[in-house]
């Protein structure tokens, strides 16, 4: 998600490295990302959600 929200240009090599090795449909995932457009408000929301999830994970690890 970080790669997708941080830039307007999709780097196929970086995205392929992020996809699980057993995934058989890597090319389909790349194609779907090529034709998508994420609005700035959507990017903001995704970044905020990611921060919240990371904070929750930190609290869970601290238990």
Q: What is the pLDDT along the chain (63 residues), one digit of tens a residue?
A: 666 666 667 777 888 888 888 888 888 888 887 777 778 888 889 889 989 999 999 999 998
Q: Phi, psi (5° rounding) for residue 7?
A: -145, 160
Residue ranges covered by each domain of the chain? 2-62
- The pLDDT, as a whole number, for residue 51 is 92
What one-character DSSP code corresponds to residue 11?
Answer: -
Instruction: Give residue 4's pLDDT.
Output: 66
Q: Please give the backbone phi and psi of residue 28, each rounded to the nearest 5 degrees, phi first.
A: -70, -40
Three-state SS for 35?
coil
């Amino acid at each position: 998600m970080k790669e997708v929200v941080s830039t307007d240009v999709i780097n196929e090599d970086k995205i392929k490295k992020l996809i699980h090795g057993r995934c058989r449909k890597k090319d389909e995932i790349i194609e779907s990302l090529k034709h998508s457009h994420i609005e700035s408000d959507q990017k903001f929301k995704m970044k905020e959600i990611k921060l919240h999830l990371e904070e929750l994970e930190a609290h869970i690890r601290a238990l």
